[in-house]
Amino acid sequence: MDIRLEHNRRQRKTALLATTAGCLLAGSLALPGTALAQTAAQPVREELQAPDFVLAPSSVEQGQTPMNQSFGPSREDWIKDTRRKAFEDTKFDVQVRSFYLDRDKYDSSQMESWALGGSAGLKTGYFREFFAFGATGYTSQKLYGPEDKDGAGLLQPGQEGYTVLGEVYGEFLLNQDTRLTLGRRGFDTPYINRNDARMTPNTFEAAVLQGLYGDKDTGEWRVGGGYFNKIKERTSEEFVSMAKDAGAQAGVERGVYSLGANYTLGDLSVGAIGYYSNDIIGIFYTEAKYAFALSDDWKLRTALQYTDQSSNGEQLLKGNSFDSNQWGAKAELVHGGALFTVGYTQAGGNANMQNPWSGYPGYTSVQVEDFNRDGEKAWLMRAGYDFTSVKGLGIYALYVDGTDPSSPTEYARNETDFNIQWKVPKGVLEGLMVRLRYAEVAQSDPASDDLKDLRIMVFYDPPSL
């Protein structure tokens, strides 16, 4: 059939149908022949008379899909859909914090601050199922803080408030199990972590590859590695070299390479991680955990840990070589909401253990003291209970007894802590957490006083975010 003849025939038929439809539509609102009826039909006639009106012939039957239209919409629509999905999956995180800390130190001086602040951030979903973006800002402002009682770690020196953009990063989903992070972000490993025990966590400028492989039935692998270039300490507004933060002399700038893995299968967990900063320090950490049931109501959890630290290269951290280590063991007895813990650590070598970029992972590291000085041994006893009658309410008390370290100018210490916390799980106050912590540290030095540390925290995470 001649395509032009068929095209003209279809034009006449379409015009007739459109005119009839226009009259019927207009007739439902006004009498035929009136101005309203003529206006309703006019646009149809103008469209049909347009010179660029072309009808492309096709032999595709209804219900068929050609190959070139398979696997989704057009490229333009595909991009719009993936962007829309990324925005729909964007998560916002807001937390309000109020923190009061009052410490009477060994030399009878005092630190006292009360701050109000928190954080606000977001992380998008994955654009094109590949790239996500995240950012978090932090602030801590003074409510109370005498200048002669500085140093509590809630505010900057001089009891000054601060506001900082602590996280700005891109996350790339390389496959379902592997992701790459580039930029400034918080990370959590034994010796590089957020140490989020004040108003603001540590964050790092880094390139980190992380993977989660396997499953709980066959065994789960957590693998991570990367390069950490800079750190922003908790009250700082600036990112500085990891070497400078560790205590290296001015002008020395070095980052930290890290690589580690952990394997979990049921109640067994085994892992190790290494950190290497050229000319500064090398750290190796390993930990193993295993748990088993003693009866239907009682469960025993056990753990072992070991850390080795040493200087390397040009020894720019202390100016001399050092080697230190600590090992620890822990046993926990679980019965319902009750938890009873016994732990032991022992440090050795020729220097104190160090943790410049994190909280310390030792089993006897508690509210104030880490009990990781060279030659120091420490025992921990702890008892805690999570109430079933009041959801989210928990308490614990602990005691750590340490020995004299190797240094003749330092003395044995023991610490007693008490903690009560209530995190509201639901209801009008959902998202609210109130925590009271008190510690007292006694030192065998007859010339010093006992240290007393009181902390009151009120955090609020809006449940809708």
What pLDDT shows up at residue 9?
47
Position 75 scores a pLDDT of 65
Residue 372 near residue 345, CB atoms below 8 Å: yes
pLDDT of residue 27: 39
User: Residue 38: enclosing H or E segment and its boundaries?
Assistant: helix 35-48
pLDDT of residue 5 exceeding 80, the answer is no
In sequence order, what are the beta bridge partners of 304?
A: 288, 329
**What is the average per-residue pLDDT within 449-453?**
96
pLDDT of residue 78: 64
Q: What is the DSSP string of 190-247?
A: SSSS---SSSS--EEEEEEEEEEEEETTTEEEEEEEEEEEEEE-TT-SS-EEHHHHHT
- Write down the mean pLDDT value for the chain: 87
Residue 66 has pLDDT above 80, yes or no: no
**Cα–Cα distance measured from residue 373 to residue 370, given in angstroms and rounded to the nearest whole number:** 8
Whether the CB-CB separation of 290 and 304 falls below 8 Å is answered with no
* Single pTM value for the model: 0.82
**191: closest CA among 306, 45, 80, 316?**
306
* DSSP letter assigned to residue 82: H
- Which pLDDT tens digit goes with each residue over 255-276? 999 999 999 999 999 999 999 9
Q: In this predicted model, which residue has the larger pLDDT, 6 or 301?
A: 301
In this predicted structure, the answer to whether residue 199 has a pLDDT above a threshold of 60 is yes
pLDDT tens readout for residues 101-154: 999 999 999 999 999 999 999 999 999 889 999 999 999 999 999 999 999 999
Positive or negative, the CA dihedral 244, 248, 252, 257 is: negative
Can you give the pLDDT at residue 70? 58
Stated as kind and residue range, the H or E segment containing 165 is strand 162-175
Rounded to 5°, the CA angle 108-114-118 comes to 140
Which pLDDT score, from 0 to 100, does residue 462 have?
Answer: 93
Which of helix, strand or coil describes residue 312? coil
Residue 64 has pLDDT above 80, yes or no: no
Task: Domain ranges for the chain, please list them.
Answer: 3-67
